[in-house]
C-alpha cells in the first residue's frame, strides 16, 4: 500500500522510482558533504554574521537581500561545487525538475491563502490586517524560499534520503519499505542534529530539556516535510511549506501554518489515493476484453 501511494505521486515517475534512478555516490561523500556543511555554517554564524559582513548588501538593497539569503548563496556555491565536481550529481539526482516549479509555486500560494482564511474564521469579527509588511519582511521570506528552505530541502530531504536509500540497497538490503523507513529516520535525525551548532551559537539551549524539546520538534518537522515531498514527489512544495513555516507572511494578523500540518498531510494522502484510483481505472479501461 505504501509503495502504491508513492507510485502515484507523479504522472511519469514515482518517488521510489526516482530514488532508484539517482546517481549513487558513497558513504564517505555523504560524510564529506555534512562535514563541509557544518564548517561553512560555523564560519557564517561565528564570523560572517558576527562581523556584520552582510550589512552593506542588506542596507544597499533595503533588506531585500538579507543576511540569510547571502549566507545560503555561499552555502549553495560551496556544497553545490561538491555535488557537481566531486559527487557528479545532476539536477535530477537532487529532485530539481523544471516542470515541477510552477505546481510548487501554485501549491505554496494555495497553502498560504488557506492559512489566511483559517485565521479569518478563527478570529471571527476581531480579525485585523497584519502590520509590518515591507522590504525587510519580503527579504526574510526570500532568504527562506531561495535560501534556507530550498537548501535544507535539497540537502536533508532530496540528497540524504535518496542516497541513504540506494546505498542501503547496494549494501544488500532488498525490502523496499524498511530501506525507505531507515533512510527517512536517519536523514531526519541528521536534519535535527544539524541545527545544534546554530542553537548553541545563539544560546538557545539553556538545559538538556531545551535540547530534547528542540531536537524532537525539528525531527517531527523533518518527518512532515519528508511526507510532503514524497507524497507529492515535488521538492518545491516542501520548500514552499518550509519557507512559510519559518516566515508566514501573514495578511491577517496571526495567520501561520501552525495547526495546518496534519490537515495538509491528509490532503496529500487523499490526493495520492485518488491518483492511484484514477490510474487503476484507466488501466482497466485500456485492457482488452477476454
Provide DSSP, 125-194: GG--BPP--SHHHHHHHHHIIIIIHHHHIIIIIIIHHHHHHHHHHHTT---HHHHHHHHHHHHHHHHHHT
% of the chain at pLDDT higher than 70: 92
**pLDDT < 70 positions in the chain:** 1-13, 282-290
pLDDT in the model for residue 2: 44
Q: What is the pLDDT of residue 271?
A: 85
The per-residue pLDDT for 288 is 60
Residue range 219-230, pLDDT digits in tens: 999 999 999 999
Listed in sequence order, the residues at least 6 apart from 27 whose beta carbon sits closer than 8 Å to its beta carbon are 167
The model's pTM is 0.90
| Residue 272 to residue 91: CA distance in whole angstroms | 25
Amino acid at each position: 500500500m505504501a509503495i502504491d501511494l508513492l507510485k502515484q505521486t507523479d504522472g511519469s515517475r514515482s518517488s521510489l522510482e526516482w530514488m532508484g534512478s539517482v546517481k549513487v555516490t558513497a558513504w564517505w561523500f555523504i560524510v564529506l558533504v555534512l562535514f563541509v556543511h557544518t564548517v561553512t555554517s560555523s564560519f557564517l554564524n561565528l564570523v560572517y554574521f558576527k562581523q556584520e559582513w552582510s550589512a552593506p548588501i542588506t542596507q544597499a538593497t533595503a533588506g531585500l537581500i538579507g543576511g540569510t539569503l547571502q549566507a545560503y548563496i555561499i552555502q549553495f556555491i560551496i556544497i553545490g561545487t561538491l555535488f557537481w565536481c566531486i559527487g557528479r550529481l545532476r539536477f535530477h539526482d537532487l529532485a530539481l525538475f523544471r516542470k515541477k516549479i510552477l505546481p510548487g509555486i501554485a501549491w505554496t500560494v494555495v497553502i498560504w491563502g488557506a492559512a489566511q482564511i483559517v485565521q479569518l474564521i478563527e478570529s471571527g469579527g476581531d480579525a485585523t490586517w497584519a502590520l509590518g509588511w515591507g522590504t525587510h519582511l519580503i527579504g526574510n521570506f526570500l532568504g527562506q524560499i531561495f535560501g534556507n528552505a530550498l537548501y535544507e530541502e535539497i540537502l536533508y530531504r532530496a540528497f540524504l534520503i535518496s542516497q541513504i536509500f540506494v546505498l542501503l540497497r547496494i549494501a544488500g538490503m532488498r525490502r523496499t519499505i524498511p530501506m525507505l523507513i531507515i533512510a527517512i529516520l536517519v536523514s531526519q535525525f541528521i536534519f535535527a542534529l544539524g541545527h545544534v551548532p546554530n542553537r548553541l551559537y545563539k544560546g538557545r539551549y539553556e538545559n538538556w530539556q531545551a535540547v530534547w524539546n528542540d531536537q524532537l520538534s525539528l525531527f517531527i518537522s523533518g518527518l512532515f516535510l519528508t511526507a510532503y515531498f514524497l507524497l507529492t514527489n515535488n521538492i518545491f512544495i516542501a520548500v514552499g511549506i518550509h519557507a512559510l513555516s519559518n516566515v508566514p507572511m501573514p495578511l491577517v494578523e496571526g495567520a501561520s501554518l501552525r495547526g495546518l500540518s496534519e490537515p495538509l498531510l491528509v490532503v496529500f494522502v487523499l490526493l495520492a489515493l485518488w491518483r492511484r484510483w484514477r490510474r487503476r481505472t484507466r488501466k482497466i479501461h485500456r485492457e482488452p476484453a477476454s
